[in-house]
Amino acid sequence: MFDASRRFDVLVVGGGNAALCAAISAREAGASVILLESAPKAFRGGNSRHTRNLRTMHEAPTDILTGSYLEDEYWDDLLRVTGGRTDETLARMVIRETKRVVPWLAKQGVAFQPALTGTLSLSRTNAFFLGGGKALVNALYRTAERAGVEIHYHAEVHRIRIEDGMFTAAEATIGGFPEIVRARTLVAASGGFQANIGWLKEYWGEAAENFLIRGTPYAQGKVLRTLLDGGCAPVGDPTQCHAVAIDGRAPKFDGGLATRLDCIPFGIVVNREARRFYDEGEDVWPKRYAIWGRLVAQQPGQIAYAIVDRKAEELFLPSVYPPIRADSIGELAQKLELDAATLEATVRDFNAACRPGPFDPQALDGCRTEGLDPPKTHWARPLDTPRFTAFPLRPGITFTYLGVKVDETARIRMQEGKPAANLFAAGEIMSGSILGQGYLAGFGMAIGSVFGTIAGRSAARTARN
């Protein structure tokens, strides 16, 4: 039961990794802590429960990581994916702190997988959670409960009262009842606004109706909106989101990793008009998978179809949904409800433009088309071997970039540039302070864990003073 007469040292809003790291750290520092999670218990954990790993620097092999991954290489990787749109001070701090935060998470009960050897290159740079993000979230909730954090589910914060940079109270609905929650400090860790289709429509128009959201439906951005309305400084491009192409049959929310499709480089992709619209073989897939969500979003009806032939079937992970198959391109077109003559012409033109060469699915092989617009610059092989297989594609939104600006103590900046008195933020809601564009696998959990622990400590210290 929520007791409205109680005043806590720290109110943590959110129930994912960043919120839990903040709540546990604040308790470690001796603060009384209340955590409000808008989801019911069964769906707690936000997008964090879909994750697999955290990118971490380390100087030597460990039981969970191979080789070494030093600060400068990590920084270079970040610089490349963000095209320089990052804050070097904050980014380097996150990078260095990952070394501390991985053992800290382990101490809180998070189990990591022994380092995988073989072809998975991420085993050097990323620590994998044993049992995935769901197990991580469950472990952190157990620890938070044991430490005495007061946790409420079905507890949605919709307004944060801020007077001249000072948080005074939060208005929430807890278990269906309107409540005022009072605390000396606040940590906002409520993720992005990617599940708020109405907000996405402000930038994408009606197309946003056809977007699928890869993670939690609770990422409504209400806390972000009230913080910005209350004078907190925005950061990050509001029009940008991380979007990948996923199986078009995925559920509207929470489809997670299993709905991703990796077959695009090995075939062609056509839109609803049965025409190709982009170079499917522009670069290796890890460098290109994140542009395909946006590309599909720009097509009529926000739908596209990836098509491969028998030769390519074993080159990618199968979808969780059944492949759509046919023995001829015409028959496949019928099954996809595309114009058969146009699809046959698209495939005929593509096949005629392919220049034979040594095909190598693991490298930029230069098997390319000639005289075709758009071209396919690698892995171009004629679609000539039945059976033909297709998967529908839709934009799958991972997260948005708009957030609140923080400093290295996780304290929120106000619009006039001064620091907020007692407002802190961690995780996706402030990651725009570091990620101006692009994304590096495992960096979301790195930001959330590092800034979560910092925000918890900063909030506890501020509450004491």
Smallest distance from ligand FAD to CB 32, Å: 19
State the minimum distance, in angstroms, from the CB of residue 9 to ligand FAD.
Answer: 18
Of 26, 34, 39, 269, which lies in the binding site for ligand FAD, with binding defined by CB under 6 A? Answer: 39
Residue with smaller CB distance to ligand FAD, 389 or 433: 433
Helix (H, G, I), strand (E, B) or coil at 450: helix
How far is 231 from 165, CA to CA, in rounded Å? 7
Q: Kindly state the number of chain residues that form the binding site for ligand FAD, as judged by CB under 6 A.
A: 43
Q: Is 425 in the site for ligand FAD (CB under 6 A)?
A: no
Closer CB to ligand FAD, 256 or 432, in the complex = 256
Q: Which residues inside 86-115 make contact with ligand FAD, applying CB under 6 A?
A: none
Whether residue 144 contacts residue 24, with contact meaning beta carbons closer than 8 Å, is answered with yes
Which residues between 140 and 159 bind ligand FAD (CB under 6 A)?
Answer: 156-157
Is residue 8 within 8 Å of residue 184, measured between CB atoms?
yes
Of positions 25, 38, 143, 433, contacts ligand FAD by CB under 6 A: 38
**What residues have CB less than 8 Å from 35, skipping those under 6 apart?**
12, 13, 14, 15, 19, 20, 23, 144, 149, 150, 151, 152
Question: Can you say whether the dihedral through the CA atoms of 64, 70, 76, 82 is positive or negative?
Answer: positive
**Contact map string, positions 16 to 35, toward ligand FAD, x by CB under 6 A:** xxxx----------------
Up-side HSE of residue 151: CA atoms within 13 Å toward CB?
26
Find the binder of ligand FAD among 9, 37, 87, 280 (CB under 6 A): 37
The dihedral through the CA atoms of 166, 169, 171, 174 has a sign that is positive
- E strand segments, 303-445: 304-308, 324-326, 388-400, 403-404, 411-413, 419-425
Q: Provide the token pair at 388.
A: 């033909």
Q: Which residues, numbered 183-242, are part of the site for ligand FAD (CB under 6 A)? A: 189-191, 214-216, 218-220, 222-223
Q: How far is the CB of 133 from ligand FAD (least distance, A)?
A: 7
Concatenate the DSSP letters of all residues of 178-234 into one string.
EEEEEEEEEEE----STT-HHHHHHHHGGGGGG-EESS-TT---HHHHHHHHTTBPE
| Residue 386: CB minimum distance to ligand FAD, A | 34
- Residue from 428, 453, 457, 462 touching ligand FAD (CB under 6 A): that is 428
Calculate ∠ Cα 227-204-159, nearest 5°: 20
In whole angstroms, the minimum distance from the beta carbon of 302 to ligand FAD comes to 18
Q: Min. distance of Cβ 365 from ligand FAD in angstroms? A: 29
Q: Which is nearer to ligand FAD, 53 or 82 (CB)?
A: 53
* Chain positions contacting ligand FAD, by CB under 6 A: 13-19, 36-39, 45-48, 50-54, 156-157, 189-191, 214-216, 218-220, 222-223, 256-257, 398, 427-428, 442-445, 448
